[in-house]
Structure 1
Amino acid sequence: MAPRRQGATGEREAEDAQGCCVPGECLRPREPVRVEDAVRVLCNNDTCAVGRYMHRECFEQWEAGVLAYLKSCGRARSWSERQRHQNLWTKKGYDLAFKACGCRCGRGHLKKDLDWAPPGSVIRADEEKKRRRRARSGRTPAAVDVRSRAFSLSSSGSCSPPSASSEPSASPTHVVPHAITSAKRNSKSEIVSDRIRAGAGANGIFSRRLDFSTFNLLPKHKVNSYQIKIEDEGNHGNDDTRLFILSTLAGQHKPRVSCALCKETLDVFDRYPLVDGTFFLSPRQHTSSAVEVKVEGRTQYLTCVCMGCLERCDPERTIRCRFCGQKWDGSSLVLGTMYSYDIFMATPCCAERLKCNNCYKPLLHPHQRLNYSDYSHPVTCPHCRVLDAHFVKPLGYCFTKRAFPLFQQWP
């Protein structure tokens, strides 16, 4: 079901004026879409008036969510990460993933316009060639932020889910062990102690990672730059997400954080991967160790989950829905970075999770679904008219560590 072809250069101003057409939350709502640094998409609804351009960061976050959906579809389950990314916008992959590509118009599905080249693309192609040469010479590739990435504060604070964020420019064959080798080679000359100045107000309280051995807990196919955030995305190390996390924790004098599930203490590092797990922002304080922050005028809580709980390394780390018994799985989330939404509430599994926090009446139909980040946004209940982040509920209300019986508070 290929979307219709649209576009004449004469329509450019009108398209720009419509703003970013990303389904769900725009990461830069106050900034117009500049065609020179945008991604063009097509909707197969002939009457769609939402627009045809997305901010590049918004597209990458949205695409990461579509890739996460593709991972669960038919023959795509056996594809590698690289194959899924290569096939996504071709007929081979899009026929499987189009259901996750709903347009905001509500009557069509979006698809990346592979035939469109933005102004300045020649320069961008030259830069890509240089990047590839650097990668071949031994530099570590840029990693994914979000998965339905990443979605990090550079993605409004965020990644996509589960799963994450921005689209990696390098092949998944560039794996973390290469970064491990580089880190070990430079460690003697660069690291005098395990405490160094992290910059940007971090006050030198954070650890410098000496190696990546803790990630050996992961299955081998996950030890790559898609699953683990390795490098800054800003120039000269000025990555917004990293600086936001480090400055926030430094202001609270917290060089360590606790896992929201198992309470294990985790060191925070001055460079990516920032933690042996992942951070996320939630409108609810799930644990007393979560740090209160202000993001775009809203109160949020910076929370952490360790790698062991995300991967469910042992049965004691498994949590399941108290109402339907389905297990929560965080293994598709990118490690070492931050998601801008509540990762526990981003994939409600049953109707009980879709009820108002005040009157307990359903806010959505059982089969209606939102984008991952939308479940963390305040909404007004149509029944009692109370405005709240209704889909974000206490962990103890939604989950239990016991297989049976259900409906029992999480100890």
Structure 2
Amino acid sequence: MAPRRQGSGGEREADEVRGCCVPGECLRPRESVRVEDAVRLICNNEACTAGRYMHRDCFEQWEASVLAYLKSCGRARSWSERQRLQNLWTKKGYDLAFKACGCRCGRGHLKKDLDWLPPGAAARAEEEKKRRRRTRSGRGAAVGDGRSRAFSLSSSGSCSPPSAPSEPSTSPTHASTPAKRSSKTEIVSDRVRAGAGANGIFSRRLDFSTFNLLPKHKVNSYQIKIEDEGNHGNDETRLFILSTLAGQHKPRVSCALCDDTLDVFDRYPLVDGTFFLSPRQHTSAAVEVKVEGRTQYLTCVCMGCLERCEPERTIRCRFCGVKWDGSSLVLGTMYSYDIFMATPCCADRLKCNTCYKPLLHPQQRLNYSDYSHPVTCPHCRVLDTHFVKPLPYCFTKRAFPLFQQWP
């Protein structure tokens, strides 16, 4: 039996506890949690049996997903990253972010115990102070020499921080400019990713066999998003999607075209299809979010409808009959604009939603994402996302006759 120590609250605590209480997949499932190097959490469900300690690295990754959720909440959108981190576990920030802090018990929410100190922390802090004092006193004799060397180093060279990940491209062909990767179709092999999904409600993808339905030339890392952009799996797009859906308790989503139900996975590819943001709620299953102060709707389209795998999945413009094609879109990620409205095929798609007069010259074209932005009609002066129209208004699933609403 493991020895026990006195906790900060007067309770007895074991040196090790058996299970990590992270709300997802533990990064070190075979290792007990060492209390000296753990983070303690509090669940507001008094009957919780999920535990209260996390491995420190499990906590840091889980905390990153909560911070991503906080970034989209109310007044926290105007905070700096440092302010969000400082406020997260105080009342100021936690009241906004608690929905993303669901406990594994399913009946409570977790919060970091700010009043708890690991056993021996005070003694270690005092020892560290003594070590620093000894180090400073040892340096006193060589101050002059140290200053001259520091000056010579600073004048002879410099170092710069690593550059930040590039912003996603607005092209519908690729969500981001891919780095050079192996051309081997390795993504169809069995492999399990490390890391956890927000709140532990999302599926773990054990293999990539579903993508074998694609033509062979598309089974690659350019057409399917398989890597995080951020360090240690803290990709902002992935964390945004998972924290948003976790806050709504949605481990599955529905396709906007065929209503098929799709599992959401905790790592890229996040879904067997792709997500996008639209200023219009195309289906009741689309999730409302706030992005840079604007209301958007997180929507999903399945791989079958993007690739038009079956004739009944084909949709075409009600006005000119041109087929909509989503086969060039990268699978498993998210676009920041309405993918259905990004490539208007005829003049009828460019009319004002109020007065129905043309907003652009028939030959004039905008960037893909610009069609999802609000514009002011030059005729009636109404500000609206005029280019984003209801799917049944623009598309039909019937080849003939045209001008018949889908579905």
- Output the TM-score relative to the length of structure 1: 0.58
- Which of the numbers 269, 273, 280 marks the counterpart of 1:273? 269
Give me the whole-angstrom Cα distance separating, in 2, the residues matched to 1:396 and 1:340. Answer: 22
Q: Encode CA deviations 1:98-130: one digit per residue, 9 max, x unaligned.
A: xxxxxxxxxxxxxxxxxxxxxx9x999xx9xxx
How far apart are residue 299 of structure 1 and its match? 0.2
Q: Secondary structure at the match of 1:335?
A: coil
Give me the whole-angstrom Cα distance separating, in 1, the residues matched to 2:224 and 2:394. Answer: 28
- Which of the numbers 368, 373, 378 marks the counterpart of 2:374? 378
Q: Which residue of 1 aligns with 2:86?
A: none
Q: Secondary structure at the match of 2:297?
A: strand
Q: Contact between 2:337 and 2:372, CA under 8 Å: does it hold in 1?
A: yes
Q: Which residue of 2 aligns with 1:318?
A: 314
Q: Which residue of 1 aligns with 2:288?
A: 292
Q: Which residue of 2 aligns with 1:165?
A: 175
Q: Contact between 2:174 and 2:222, CA under 8 Å: does it hold in 1?
A: no
User: What amino acid does structure 1 have at the position aligned with 2:174?
Assistant: A
Give me the whole-angstrom Cα distance separating, in 2, the residues matched to 1:353 and 1:243. Answer: 34
Q: Which residue of 2 aligns with 1:232?
A: 228
State how 1:233-382 maps to structure 2 within 5 Å.
233-382=229-378
Give me the whole-angstrom Cα distance separating, in 1, the residues matched to 2:229 and 2:257. Answer: 29
Q: Encode CA deviations 1:330-362: one digit per residue, 9 max, x unaligned.
A: 000000000000000000000000000000000
How far apart are residue 168 of structure 1 and its match? 1.2
- Which of the numbers 381, 403, 407 marks the counterpart of 1:407? 403
How far apart are residue 166 of structure 1 and its match? 1.9
Q: Which residue of 1 aligns with 2:186?
A: 178
1:203 lines up with 2:211 in the alignment: no
Q: Of the two, which has the highest radius of gyration?
A: 2
CA 159–339 in structure 1, closer or farther in 2 if over 3 Å, else same: farther
Q: Contact between 1:400 and 1:410, CA under 8 Å: does it hold in 2?
A: yes
Q: Which residue of 2 aligns with 1:105?
A: none
Q: Encode CA deviations 1:222-258: one digit per residue, 9 max, x unaligned.
A: 0001000001000111000000000000000000000
User: What amino acid does structure 2 have at the position aligned with 1:325?
Assistant: G
Structure 1 residue runs of 4 or more that deviate by more than 4 Å after TM superposition = none
Q: Contact between 1:162 and 1:333, CA under 8 Å: does it hold in 2?
A: yes
Give me the whole-angstrom Cα distance separating, in 2, the residues matched to 1:277 and 1:159. Answer: 18
How far apart are residue 163 of structure 1 and its match? 1.7
Give me the whole-angstrom Cα distance separating, in 1, the residues matched to 2:319 and 2:183. Answer: 42
CA 216–180 in structure 1, closer or farther in 2 if over 3 Å, else same: closer
Q: Secondary structure at the match of 1:329?
A: coil
How far apart are residue 197 of structure 1 and its match? 4.0
Q: Which residue of 1 aligns with 2:21?
A: none
State how 1:82-93 maps to structure 2 within 5 Å.
none
How far apart are residue 167 of structure 1 and its match? 1.3
Query: Which runs of 5 or more structure 2 residues have no equivalent in the other structure?
Result: 1-77, 79-156
Q: Secondary structure at the match of 1:249?
A: helix
Query: Could you say what the CA RMSD is over the residues aligned between the two structures, in angstroms?
Result: 2.5
Give me the whole-angstrom Cα distance separating, in 2, the residues matched to 1:347 and 1:231. Answer: 27
Q: Encode CA deviations 1:346-395: one digit per residue, 9 max, x unaligned.
A: 00000000000000000000000000000000000000000000000000
Q: Contact between 2:252 and 2:261, CA under 8 Å: does it hold in 1?
A: yes
**Equivalent pairs, count:** 251
Q: Secondary structure at the match of 1:341?
A: coil
Query: Which runs of 5 or more structure 1 residues have no equivalent in the other structure?
Result: 1-29, 31-119, 128-144, 146-153, 191-195
Give me the whole-angstrom Cα distance separating, in 1, the residues matched to 2:372 and 2:406. Answer: 22
- Which of the numbers 216, 220, 232 marks the counterpart of 1:220? 216
Q: Secondary structure at the match of 1:247?
A: helix
